[in-house]
Amino acid sequence: MIGSHDGPNQFGRRGLLAGGVVAGLGSAAAIAGLLEKGTSPRDSPIELTANDPDASLPLNYVNVKAAPFNAGGVGATDDTAAIARAYQSAAANGRPMFFPAGNYKVTSLPAMANNMTILGAGAGLSTIIYEGSGTLLSLSNAQHVTFKNIGFWITGASGTGISLSNCFRCSFESVMIRGQHSAANTTGFRAQTGVVLTANTGGTSFLDCDINNLGTGMKTSCIQNYVANSKFATNYVGILGTGNNLNAGMSLMNTEFVSNPSVAETNVHIYIDGRANDWWLTNCWFEGANKAIVVGVAGVGGPSQFGMSNCKVAGKQIVLDLQYCRQPHLSNVVFDADPGGTPTLLRINASSCPDGVAINLINSQAADFASSVFPPNWTVIGRRRFGSTLVSPNGHSWQLKVSDSGAVTASDLGVI
């Protein structure tokens, strides 16, 4: 193993993001009519028009609290049947389904048809509560299913929130998926899972989402799905790429992975546990885990490509552990130690990550990594050194390097 250790560097931890937008209530005339009947405008379906001051809800949506569906949304009674009735109406008429602010206790949710849209009043305002040990929502062979401004709370010790199988172009926007995992109970809820992506699900996106307090926040065995502007907090494992079949892949952008650095709440933020596809991380932030990122398993396999660009990554034991990857690429990454920790900032298994690219890697506010951190065949480009391979006319390849002291060396790598 090749590694580098560095001392602690304190930085602040940002709190969990939550919130949402309260949905519009409809035209003044419609509201006035409802009030005359003694009915809350939020509890009845209202057809919005172009003249409404807040047309955030589409025309002809189905309100799960309205008659004849009559979901309670109070968290004490079971709303499963009421929501199923509302879904049947929405699906039959091609209408979105709306959950006003409230807590909806259910034993399951209907499998959504293609092009269904499910709306809430806000990720922290409209919450679907699942106490079971199975899966709350299973989508199979579905396309263009959309969830927006709604929350899911998994309270069962081994429950799963959402599972997508052979689904394409589904989207989750401003959605919160949370469980019960915390520092006070870091073992009791490790079997909880927020999202499972399986069986070739692709093109699914998570935008502005919060996935927190779960045993595993997201588990994927599919090629390419997308997470952007989101937050993973206090999960035992943030994202697990699994399957060992060259399939699992993920693209993440502008996403935070955080936990409390003073306790063992989070073991690893991202773990790729075998042969996988491409993983790309851009503008991401990591802090608070024992191991921030583990890429591949020595002797088993890892992703074909793993790339990090413009990221800040910290941990308590190991920050970035490259155990197996055919083509790692690291660019403009700042490594750090969590408060109170002296982690190995960058560990590279030279036998199973023999080639790679490292550009401008910083191991503190004032220092770059030493050349000795990287295997001999890596191309390393920094402020004080570079690595490059040149091919001479006789077929020999030469690796040129500038050492930390500024000395230039050339190594004959032999005939290509």
Whether 262 is in a domain gets the answer yes
What CATH number has the domain bearing residue 375? 2.160.20.10
Q: Residues 287, 323: one domain?
A: yes
CA–CA distance, 214 with 234 (Å, rounded to integer): 7
Q: Say how many domains are in the chain.
A: 2
pLDDT at 325: 97
CA–CA distance, 236 with 32 (Å, rounded to integer): 50
pLDDT at 263: 65
Q: Residues 328, 399: one domain?
A: no
Residue the block writes with tokens 């199973």: 352
Poorest-pLDDT segment among 200-204, 359-363, 379-383: 379-383
Residue 362 identity: I
Q: Residues 271, 405: one domain?
A: no
CA angle 326, 277, 333 (to 5 degrees): 65
Whether 117 is in a domain gets the answer yes
Whether 33 is in a domain gets the answer no
Q: Residues 337, 229: one domain?
A: yes
Confirm if 179 and 189 have CB atoms less than 8 A apart: yes
Whether 9 is in a domain gets the answer no
Q: Residues 148, 276: one domain?
A: yes
Structural domain range at position 402: 384-416
Please state whether the predicted TM-score (pTM) of the whole model is above 0.85: no
Q: Residues 228, 169: one domain?
A: yes
Whether 372 is in a domain gets the answer yes
pLDDT at 217: 98
Question: 327, 397, 150: which is closest to 162 by C-alpha?
Answer: 150
pLDDT at 162: 98
pLDDT at 414 over 70: no
Q: Residues 146, 273: one domain?
A: yes
Whether 13 is in a domain gets the answer no
How would residue 43 be classed by pLDDT, with cut points 50, 70 and 90? very low
Whether 52 is in a domain gets the answer no
Burial 312-331 (b: 16+ CB within 10 A, else e): bbbbbbbbbbbbbbbebbbb
Q: Residues 407, 315: one domain?
A: no
Q: Residues 388, 275: one domain?
A: no
Whether 362 is in a domain gets the answer yes
Q: Residues 132, 164: one domain?
A: yes
pLDDT at 7 over 90: no
What pLDDT digit, counting tens, does each position of 67-96 carry? Answer: 999 999 999 999 999 999 999 999 999 999
Q: Residues 204, 321: one domain?
A: yes
Q: Residues 398, 334: one domain?
A: no
**Cβ neighbourhood burial of 15 (10 Å; 0-12, 13-18, 19+):** exposed
What pLDDT digit, counting tens, does each position of 322-336 carry? Answer: 999 999 999 999 999
Question: 54, 1, 60: which is closest to 24 by C-alpha?
Answer: 54
